[in-house]
Amino acid sequence: MAKSALITGISGQDGAYLAKHLLGLGYEVHGIMPRRSTPTTWRLEYLGILGDVDLIEGDLADSAACMGAVMETRPDEVYNLGAQSFVATSWRQPLLTAQATGLGALNMLEAIRKARPEAKFYQASTSEMFGGMKDRPLQDENTPFHPRSPYGVAKLFAHWSTINYRESFGLFGCCGILFNHESPLRGIEFVTRKVTDAVARIKLGRQKDLHLGNIDAKRDWGFAGDYVKAMHMMLQQPEPDCYVVATGVTTTVRDMCRIAFAHVGLDYRDFVVVDPKFYRPAEVEILLGNPAKANAKLGWKAETTLEELMGMMVDADLERVKRETR
Ligand code: NDP
Ligand code: GDP
C-alpha cells in the first residue's frame, strides 16, 4: 500500500518541492492550507502537481483543525513546514509568529500524540536558532543556540517541543536544522529572490536600482530542491534524530548580488543602493553550517552551487517578467 504524508505549509516553497518529491516516490500526499482570500496554490501549479495532492483547509493556530487533519488523513509521515517564516516580519508580528511558528508545531505534536502516535514527525528547524553564535565559525548539531529574532525564538520552542515529545512520549520526532535554501519558488521578500527579480527587471528596463539592507551579512545558501530530499531521508532512519542541512560554504549578500548581476552581464555596483530602511533590529551576521552528520548518516549532500542557483533563479525571473510585460 502507498505510504501517506501530511504536509503543513504545502503551499510554501519547501512544501511544494517536498510534495513533488514524495509523489515521485509513490506517496499519497495531503496538505493543510490556511484559508486566504486569494488561494496561494501558485507554487503547486508551477510544479504541475496541484491536481495530485489532497488539500485540507486548516490553520496551525487552530488545534481542532490540526487534530481533524491528522484524524482524517491518518498519515505515516507528518512534515511540519507551515510557519510565518520571514524574519523581518517577526518583529512586526511577534505574537502571530509565536502562534503559527512556535505553538503551531505543538498543536501538530499533540494531534499526533493523541490520534496517530505511530506517525513519524519532521519539524522544520532553522539555522536562525544559532543566530548570534558568530564566534562559532562552523555551526553543527552541538552548537549552542542564541536566536536573534522573534522568529528564531519561536522556532527554538518548536525544536525543543519536538525533542521533548520524543523523550516524553516516544514519538518519532526529527528536526532538520536547515540553513537558507532558495529557488525560483522563494518568496519575493527574501533577499535572493528580491535580487534575482530586480536583476530581471533591470535587465529588461523595468527597474532602475535595487535597495538592500545589510549587504555584509553572510549566509550559507543552498537549493530547496536538494534540501527537501534530506527531510524525507531523516524519517527513513531507524532512530529519530536532529541534523544540520547546509552546503558548508558562506557568502556575503554583496557577493551573491555580484553573481546574480554577472549572470546577465551587469555589474551590481551600478545598481545596488544600501538603504537603512532594510536594517533589522538585531542582525545574524554569519551563518555557516557543517553538514558532516547528514553527509555521513543520511548520505545527503548539497548538489547545487550558488552560481548554479542564482543562474536558475535569474533565468526563471527573466521568463516571469517577460510574460508579465507581454
Ligand atoms: P514559506 O514561507 O515559503 O512557506 C510557509 C508555508 O506556511 C506557506 O504554505 C504558508 O501558507 C504556511 N503558513 C503560514 N502560516 C500558517 C498558519 N498559521 N497555518 C498553516 N499554514 C501556515 O517557507 P519555506 O517553504 O521557505 O520554509 C518551510 C519551513 O522551513 C518554514 O517553517 C520555514 O520557517 C522553515 N525554514 C526555511 C528555511 C529556508 O531557507 N527556506 C530555512 C530553515 C527553515 P500561505 O502561503 O498561505 O501563507
Ligand atoms: P534570513 O536569513 O532568513 O533572514 O533570510 P533573508 O533572505 O530574509 O535575509 C538574509 C540576509 O540578507 C539577512 O542578513 C538580511 O539582513 C540581509 N539583507 C540585506 N538586505 C536585505 C533585503 O533587502 N531584504 C532581505 N530579506 N534581507 C536583506
pLDDT in tens, 189-237: 999 999 999 999 999 999 999 999 999 999 999 999 999 999 999 999 9
> Residues 202, 313: one domain?
yes
The pTM assigned to this predicted structure is 0.98
- CATH number, domain of 200, equals 3.90.25.10
Q: Specify the pLDDT at position 325.
A: 67
Contact 206, 317 (CB under 8 A): no
Q: How far is the CA of 279 from the centre of ligand 2 (A)?
A: 9
Q: Is residue 296 part of a domain?
A: no
Task: State which residues form the domain around 56.
Answer: 4-181+222-245
> Residues 127, 195: one domain?
no
DSSP 217-231: -EE--EEHHHHHHHH
From the list 17, 122, 151, 227, the catalytic residue is 151
Measuring from each residue's beta carbon to the nearest atom of ligand 1, which residues come in under 6 Å?
8-9, 11-15, 32, 34, 36, 40, 59-61, 81-85, 100, 104, 124, 126, 178, 180-181, 187
Coil, strand or helix: which one is 147?
coil
Q: How far is the CA of 190 from the centre of ligand 2 (A)?
A: 6
> Residues 166, 153: one domain?
yes
Q: Is residue 297 part of a domain?
A: no
Q: Specify the pLDDT at position 136.
A: 76
Q: For 99, which DSSP code?
A: I
84-111 residue pLDDT tens: 999 999 999 999 999 999 999 999 999 9
276-288 residue pLDDT tens: 999 999 999 999 9
What is the residue-averaged pLDDT of the chain? Answer: 97
| 7, three cell numbers | 504536509
Give the phi and the psi of residue 154 in degrees, each rounded to 5. Answer: -65, -40
Question: Is 128 considered catalytic here?
Answer: yes
Q: State yes or no: pLDDT of 15 exceeds 70.
A: yes
66-84 residue pLDDT tens: 999 999 999 999 999 999 9
106-149 residue pLDDT tens: 999 999 999 999 999 999 999 999 997 767 779 999 999 999 99
Question: Alpha-carbon dihedral of residues 109, 36, 17, 154, nearest 10 degrees?
Answer: -40
> Residues 234, 89: one domain?
yes
> Residues 123, 17: one domain?
yes
